[in-house]
Amino acid sequence: ADVLADFHGEMGGCDTCHVSEKGPTDDNLTHENAQCVSCHGDLNEIAAGEKDLKISPHKSHLIGEIACTSCHIGHEKSVAYCDACHSFGFDMPFGGKWERKFVPIDVQKDAQDKAIAAGPRETTDVVIIGSGGAGLAAAVSARDNGAKVILLEKEPVAGGNTKLAAGGMNAAETKPQAALGIKDKKEIMIEDTMKGGRNINDPELVKVLANNSSDSIDWLTAMGADMNDVGRMGGASVNRSHRPTGGAGVGAHVAQVLWDNAVKRGTDIRLNSRVVRVLKDDSGKVTGVLVEGKYTGYYVIKADAVVMATGGFARNNDRVAKYDPKLKGFAATNHPGATGDGLDVAMQAGADTRDLEWVQAHPTLSPRGGVMVTEAVRGNGAILVNREGDRFVNEITTRDKASAAILQQKGASAFLVFDDSVRKSLKKIENYVHLGIVDEGKTPEELAKKIGVPGAELAKTIASYNGFVKSGKDTQFERPNLPRELGTAPYYAIEVKPAVHHSMGGVKIDTKTEVKAKDGHLIQGMYAAGEATGGVHGANRLGGNAISDIVTFGRIAGAEAAKYAKEH
Ligand code: FAD
Ligand code: MEZ
């Protein structure tokens, strides 16, 4: 047998997996996955038997209910979904290599037109496209505003880039800040965001972001989130980046809380379901969407309102390079679905766009592990050193500046250097240790030897930095936050280099998340939120502002779409 289906077919026929010979009945493969679990046990049960493995393939940071079929694919070679970002190379039964080609939305036009001509297969009030934070927040708020909601996600797993978010969610004047004695103002968050975005942001959207940020923290907390740890991100004047206690990654937590609440409220969530067209009537009003179900084929859902929460395109290097040729060939920090086909769908429906030329590189991807190392490591005290063992930049400057500075160093990469007190301050660092991307030494000199930099120089750099911490002033690079001395052995280093991270540009929206058309009018029934939109972040997004963006604008989009659906 070549693939899993042949093997099961030989054992017991098609009904070993499927209800009938006709194959899957839904795109979540509900029946098929139940069959896997009934024979092999669920993910937790399987992971429990893998305690001796350094990396267990069945234990992950993905969110929601992870279907067995996300990796174990019936009629094609099985592929480990984790290998989209990592390169674990698990030895899977009937396994193949991770590969993904971008498929434009308008292939199979005849089949698409036929499905449209056949008319809707079902009807709902609101369709939400994308299961990242913006989509899930919109689902929760649309349900709370009385709408019937179908949420469509093209990937086999939910959560988009949101589930990968690490460092935090920015918010000003919050209860966790008050508990920690941090003084902040919404006006300062607005100023920081505008300055970081080089003042080309839409100021009205920035006001919505900052003025609602504290409410968004309360909203998440009321649903069960822990946002009590508050740290510093690049370009922020004060500590306002919220994450779970102890400094665990923010994204998987927020996405899981939103997922649980969307499910609890009865949202119909469909994976493996790509939206390829937003449909409109002759007056230009939205009437629904055309879905490409991976297993059930093309079909139409009639809906009063549609929310585009399709995220960005940083994983699509052809598209990135078209807008910013300097980033051609760069690796990306993003999940594999961040290709920008949602943007194509929106543009095809007449949406206007802005700022697409602004694509952000995150300064610190580990070339060894392929994973992004959170800015929170620097926020909590790590320094950046080059191959000469010297600091070369204010480590918590904005990302555009930090990335440019790293690219100017020998080897176009640098080392994040920190001590055990930084490690203990941030749970997320344990993941990097677990992934094997962290070098360690009992002294700065021992660490320097491991990473190939001059030991005496690294020791001198650390001593000089510690002097700045003591005096409270970095006279070399004017780093504004100096949280702790680096003096507790062991010492650690992670090699890092910039990678494509965020698309600042996207669909044009107003403060109610209504989508604007090219001629400036609003497309009736079309809403958008999150990384799919442009204007909130200007030319350069501040770390921590995206999770704030998706929760706040996702909430607004869900409520507005539900209200519109009720009125039409
Ligand atoms: P996503 O979460 O990407 O979700 C969009 C979803 O839409 C995806 O699941 C995608 O598959 C789906 N989709 C796309 N097109 C279609 C279609 N045609 N049909 C159906 N589904 C479709 N920001 C912060 O503020 N703080 C952080 O700490 C932080 N850390 C980050 C760490 C990493 C590694 C990365 C990659 C990003 C990080 N960001 C962070 C940025 C932030 O995570 C994202 O900008 C944000 O989560 C985007 O949310 P979203 O809901 O708009 O999109
Ligand atoms: O906002 C981000 O993208 C972010 C904070 C990423 C990170 O370094 O954790």
Which residues have any ligand 1 atom within 6 Å of their CB? 129-135, 152-155, 160-162, 164-169, 250-251, 274-275, 309-311, 333-334, 337-338, 341-342, 345, 372, 502, 530-532, 544-547, 550
pLDDT at 497 exceeding the cut of 90: yes
What is the reported pLDDT for 11? 82
Q: Give the three-state DSSP class for 499.
A: strand
Which amino acid makes up residue 439? D
Q: What is the pLDDT of residues 73-100, one digit of tens each?
A: 999 999 999 999 988 888 899 999 888 9
Residue among 161, 362, 435, 500 whose CB has most ligand 1 atoms within 8 A, to mutate: 161
Q: How far apart are CA 364 and CA 190, in angstroms?
A: 26
What mean pLDDT value characterizes the chain? 96
Contacts of 473 (CB under 8 A, 6+ apart): none
pLDDT of 180 over the 90 cut: yes
Using the mean position of ligand 1's atoms as its centre, give its distance from the Cα of residue 85 in Å. Answer: 14
Q: Can you tell me the distance from the alpha carbon of 568 to that of 557, in angstroms, rounded to the nearest whole number? A: 16
- pLDDT digits over 453-483, tens only? 999 999 999 999 999 999 999 999 999 999 9
For ligand 1, the distance from its centroid to the CA atom of residue 227, given in whole angstroms, is 19
Which of these, 450, 448, 373, 453, lies nearest to 409 by C-alpha position? 453
Q: What is the pLDDT of residue 324?
A: 96
Rounded to whole angstroms, the Cα distance separating 120 from 302 reads 6
Which pLDDT score, from 0 to 100, does residue 256 have? 98
Ligand nearest to the CA of 377: 2
Q: What is the pLDDT of residue 301?
A: 98
Q: From the CA of 233, give the closest atom in ligand 2.
A: 5
- What is the structure's pLDDT at 210? 98
For the question of residue 399 being annotated catalytic, the response is yes
Residue 153 contacts by C-beta under 8 Å, 6 or more apart in sequence?
Answer: 130, 131, 135, 160, 269, 270, 271, 272, 273
Q: What is the pLDDT of residue 23?
A: 87
Position 240 scores a pLDDT of 98
Distances (CA, A) of 77 to 18, 31, 70, 80, 358: 18, 20, 12, 10, 37
Segment 19-35 mean pLDDT: 92
**Which residue, judged by its Cα, is nearest atom 7 of ligand 2?**
374
pLDDT of residue 370: 87
Question: Per residue, what are the HEC states of 29-97?
Answer: CHHHHHHHHHHHCCHHHHHHCCCCCCCCCCCCCCCCCCCHHHCCCCCCCECCHHHHCCCCCCCCCCECC
Q: Which atom of ligand 2 is nearest to the CA of 542?
A: 1
pLDDT for 487 equals: 98
Could you report the per-residue pLDDT of 241-258, keeping only the tens digit for each?
999 999 999 999 999 999
Is pLDDT at 450 greater than 90 in this prediction?
yes
pLDDT at 114: 98
Give the distance (Å) from ligand 2 centre to CA of residue 351.
Answer: 28
Q: Looking at residue 369, what is its pLDDT?
A: 80
Helix (H, G, I), strand (E, B) or coil at 416: strand
For ligand 1, atom 29: residue with the closest CA: 165
CA-closest candidate to residue 151, choices 70, 62, 265: 265
Q: Is pLDDT above 90 for 529?
A: yes
Handedness of CA 257, 263, 265, 269 (dihedral sign): positive
Ligand 1 atom nearest 249 alpha carbon: 28
Distance CA 452, CA 414 (A): 11
* Ligand 2 center–CA 110 separation, angstroms: 42
Reply yes or no on whether the pLDDT at 359 is more than 90.
Answer: yes
Q: Of 378, 399, 423, 479, which residue is the catalytic one?
A: 399
pLDDT tens per residue, range 297-342: 999 999 999 999 999 999 999 999 999 999 999 999 999 999 999 9
Task: Decide if pLDDT at 191 tops 90.
Answer: yes
- Which pLDDT score is estimated for 129? 99
What per-residue confidence (pLDDT) applies to 51?
87
The residue with greater pLDDT, 307 or 64, is 307
